[in-house]
Amino acid sequence: MTRPLHVRLLRHLALAMLVAWSAFPIALVVASSFKPARDIFVHPPRWLFWPTLENYAGLATRWPDFFHHLANSAIVAAGATLLAVGASALAAYAYSRWRSRALTASAFSMIFIRLIPPIVITLPLFPAVNELALNDTHLVLVLLYATFFVSLGTLVLRAFVDQIPRELDEAAMVDGASPFGVFRRVILPLCAQGMVAVGVFVLVYAWNEFLFAFIFTTTRAKTAPLTLSEMTGAIDGVEWGVLFAATTLQLAPIVAIVVAAQRYLIAGLTAGATKG
Amino acid sequence: MSGWRAGPAQWAMVAPVQALLVGVIFLPSLYVFWLSLNKSSFGVDPTFVGLANYAEILSDPYFWRAFRNTVVVVLVVVHLELLLALGAALLFAGGVPARRTMIAIMLAPYAISEVAAVVMWRFMMDPQVGMVSRALAALGLPTLEWAVEPAHGLLLAGLLSVWLHLPFTFLILYSARLALPGDLYEAARIDGASAWQQCLRITLPLLVPAMLVAMLFRYVFAFRLFSEIWLITQGGPARQTEVMAVYLYLEAFRYNEFGLAAATGWLMVVASLLLAIPYLRQMYKRMFAPEGQA
């Protein structure tokens, strides 16, 4: 079916607007991070310019800790991802294959608990974390980030495990495998796609999260978004270039991961949204 | 779908997930309820005051300001987002050039942190140097004075929120649209239905369930709005742009009124659960359905 010319033009216009809406703010900041200071505020913006790394050099001298905080973000995000994906896969296997009213009730409570807003639990956790001397540690963020994604993770992975024929479990069990053996040798390899999807969800959340990092970290475990927010508060019109360099370093790796994992994300979201 | 009878091994398998949820979220929120019935601050032992904290926040004009701001922002953000997402989903379902690249571009804001998004939008909207502001001014339109004008601050936070969350809503609606059976459209074409009629009579009605799910999710999550507001206005000027989460944060960590903050928190929990009732009911029915029907 071919569409009339004006419909085609309108569709292209709409698509161009959507692309501009999504990509323009990102492209602007990334491009500006490579501009010399005098070009940043030129209006209309210059898309052809001689790229420079002076803003990145400025970042390294003005905010040397930022690189340390990027590393903290990586540690916390990796820890939370491993914990959330591992715990969710194990629970998803149990919920997919076994039944009892109590087990179903525990699956339901999982969804219910997930609805509680994160900021509410900072009140009791703040003194508790201090008491346990966990304040400003990677561990506290890993636990928080993993916890807020295990519900979704379990739902999504359950949808994936449901697709694996039960005959495969049974065959392995006849060969003498325990439930944990079946999990390791049959289930894990076959729901790898779902695990990638859930892993990316957690990774994006943990890499970017602001509220918990703001409340529970100060120096040692401080993550990159927190430093970015401090830089945003500190600028007086002159430091924009340095801020853009830091922003670019913070967003580049995670955007690359999301784009690379696009296929898995869509599969995971479909499984989570329609079955969960 | 039937299953094997669960035993101790299965409880061991769900234990890590359940321990995290109960230990990190459930027990602390019960404690918040207890805290909300007490007067409490730093270095002072809590004393039981019954519902006094609730009475106090419910008579605080700043609480109601925060509540109104939250409701307005959530309603505007979620519905604008649904509308844009629906438009984008239908456009993409009708076929676009370089589909994978286009979807990657639509998806990109999902990967951006709230903080980085604030950097981008503050730069574009800066009243002096921002290019969007300059473009608006050049067209003779008013610019966003988000640092001084409360409504503008909320509007900027709302725009940012739509920008950050559109990918999620778009993907839900797009995959729902792709899942619609193609033979329906085949039949409609044979009956001579125009593209417009197909959209109105087939696509939209069949997408309603997915739109409701997306809407509910977004209500619950938009209701938590904190970072966007905090990073743009910190609730100011003069506490005019606070939302519920910002109000709670200030009560707790600036004024050290833990009892009042806890009461606010518990009201937020109740509101979130009320918003999610339709979703919870549907999940409950599906999960506890008799064997063989699930």
Q: Residue B174 has which token pair?
A: 């797009």
Distance CA B193, CA B50 (A): 64
Q: Residue A208 has which token pair?
A: 């970017």
DSSP strand E in chain A: where?
98-99
Of the candidates B1, B31, B24, which has an alpha carbon nearest to the alpha carbon of residue A87? B24
Q: What angle do CA B261, B265, B270 make, to 5 degrees?
A: 150
User: Residues B15-27: pLDDT tens digits?
Assistant: 999 999 999 999 9
Distance CA A276, CA A197 (A): 15
Asked if residue A122 lies in contact with residue A212, where contact means CB atoms within 8 angstroms, the answer is yes
DSSP label at residue B108: G
Q: What is the ipTM of this complex?
A: 0.93
CB contact under 8 A, A183 and B13: yes
Give the pLDDT of residue A121.
Answer: 95
User: Residues B64-92: pLDDT tens digits?
Assistant: 999 999 999 999 999 999 999 999 999 99
CA quadruple A27, A28, A34, A39: dihedral sign: positive
Give the pLDDT of residue A235.
Answer: 66
CB contact under 8 A, B248 and A119: yes
Report if pTM > 0.90.
yes
**Prior bond of B109 cis (ω within 30°):** no
Beta-carbon count within 10 A of B104 CB: 17
Burial of A266 (0-12, 13-18, 19+ CB in 10 A): middle
Q: Is B197 on the interface with A (CB under 8 A)?
A: no
Residues of B in contact with A209 (CB under 8 A): 113
Q: Residue B26 has which token pair?
A: 């459930």
Distance CA B225, CA B245 (A): 7
Distance in Å, alpha carbon of A89 to nearest chain B alpha carbon: 9
Distance in Å, alpha carbon of B235 to nearest chain A alpha carbon: 14
User: Is residue B14 very low, low, confident or very high in pLDDT (cuts 50, 70, 90)?
Assistant: very high
Q: Please list the pLDDT of chain A residue by residue as tens digits (276 residues).
A: 578 899 899 999 999 999 999 999 999 999 999 999 888 888 777 788 889 999 999 999 999 999 999 999 999 999 999 999 999 999 999 999 999 999 999 999 998 999 999 999 999 999 899 999 999 999 999 999 999 999 999 999 999 999 999 999 999 999 999 989 999 999 999 999 999 999 999 999 999 999 999 999 999 999 999 999 999 887 665 588 999 999 999 999 999 999 999 999 888 877 765 544
Beta-carbon count within 10 A of A256 CB: 11
Give the pLDDT of residue B109.
Answer: 97
Give the pLDDT of residue B291.
Answer: 53
Residue with tokens 């292209």: A12
Mean pLDDT within B91-112: 94
Beta-carbon count within 10 A of B281 CB: 10
Give the pLDDT of residue A276.
Answer: 42
> 3-state class of B98 per DSSP?
coil
Give the pLDDT of residue B186.
Answer: 87
Residues of A in contact with B214 (CB under 8 A): 273
Give the one of A28, A106, A204 whose C-beta lies nearest to B111's C-beta.
A204
Return residues 90-129 of A near B (CB < 8 Å): 90-91, 93-104, 106-126, 128
Of the candidates A241, A91, A132, A160, which has an alpha carbon nearest to the alpha carbon of residue B21? A91
Q: Euclidean distance between the first and final Cα of chain B, in Å?
A: 6
Give the pLDDT of residue A244.
Answer: 95
User: Residues B140-180: pLDDT tens digits?
Assistant: 888 888 888 999 999 999 999 999 999 999 999 998 998 88
Distance CA B197, CA A97 (A): 44
Q: Residue A204 has which token pair?
A: 């994006």
Q: A interface mutation test: which of B4, B5, B10 has the most A CBs within 10 A? A: B10
CA nearest A88 in B: which residue?
B17
> 3-state class of B244 per DSSP?
helix
Least confident window among B36-50, B115-129, B239-253, B255-269: B36-50
Q: Is B292 on the interface with A (CB under 8 A)?
A: no
The pairing of beta strand A98-99 with beta strand B4-5: parallel
The pairing of beta strand B4-5 with beta strand B44-48: unpaired
Of the candidates A72, A123, A78, A30, which has an alpha carbon nearest to the alpha carbon of residue A225? A72
Q: B interface mutation test: which of A123, A215, A218, A236 has the most B CBs within 10 A? A: A123
SS3 string of A3-64?
CCHHHHHHHHHHHHHHHHHHHHHHHHHHHHHCCCHHHHCCCCCCCCCCCCCHHHHHHHHHCC
Give the pLDDT of residue B293.
Answer: 46
User: Residues B205-221: pLDDT tens digits?
Assistant: 999 988 998 899 899 99
Average confidence score pLDDT of chain B: 91
DSSP label at residue B130: -
Give the pLDDT of residue B1.
Answer: 47
CB contact under 8 A, B175 and A266: yes
